[in-house]
Amino acid sequence: MEAVLPFLAKLVNIVFLDLILAGDNAIVIGLAARNLPSSTQKKAIFYGTGGAVLLRIVATIVVVWLLKIPWLLLVGGILLIGIAYKLLVDDDDHTDIKAGRTLWGAIRTIIVADAAMGLDNVIAVAGAADQNIVLVILGLLVSVPIVVWGSTLFIKLIERFTWIIYLGSAVLGFTASKMITEEKRIHPFFEDHPAIRIAFMAVVIIGVLTAGFLKKRSDQRKKKNENSFG
């Protein structure tokens, strides 16, 4: 039982991160299939998402393996800090995604677009899984159906309760700082100085949230000024 609880906690964490980061992917799925007949749309979403999941699993397993190479855990953690910040400030609506005119065209668009946008998910999941491949696969298998069939509901939930995005960013900040402190070359230092490790993780989380909040507020002010002058 003691071994099961940490495993389940990590699995819940992975599913949560996947859902937080999957808003863009859900939009891409909808945009890619929007011009197809309703009966064909379901097939495009099912096959396109299936292909994207398989590609994501392979990519994440590759990243899990890569993170075992010296210093790459540190690099992955730094990249994830940037992703945590981007989650708060990114307002891209992806209207440039072309809708597929045929079933296979839509499937191809979903897979290619998901692969291009999936780096953040891959790094986050690989880090949160502590390089455990079973956790990676289970997390993706649980979260992807929710993304496909519950994406609209989840996006509306995030729009209504904006604190969910901040919570997701904080979890990403925690995962990133944990990855950095577990880099083999510097882990002994943090292990010998647990107070410094906790302080470092707190600084990363607070820093990401503060920077994201300030940038978001600055962008909102700019838009308000532009609208008032326009």
Residue 168 domain boundaries = 4-229
Residue 49's pLDDT band, with cuts at 50, 70 and 90, is: confident
Question: Which residue has tokens 């045929």?
Answer: 102
Sign of CA dihedral 148, 154, 159, 163: negative
Other C-beta atoms lying within 10 Å of the C-beta of residue 218: 11
- With 70 as the cut, is the pLDDT of residue 99 above it? no
Among 24-28, 148-152, 179-183, the range scoring the smallest mean pLDDT is 148-152
pLDDT at 17: 82
Of 52, 76, 77, 50, the closest CA to residue 63 belongs to 76
Domain count, the chain: 1
Q: How far apart are CA 173 and CA 81, in angstroms?
A: 6
φ, ψ (nearest 5 deg) of residue 60: -70, -40
In sequence order, what are the residues at sequence separation of 6 or more whose Cβ sits closer than 8 angstroms to the Cβ of residue 111?
A: 48, 51, 52, 55
Read off the amino acid at residue 49: T
pLDDT at 213: 92
pLDDT at 178: 92
- The three-class DSSP label of residue 126 is helix
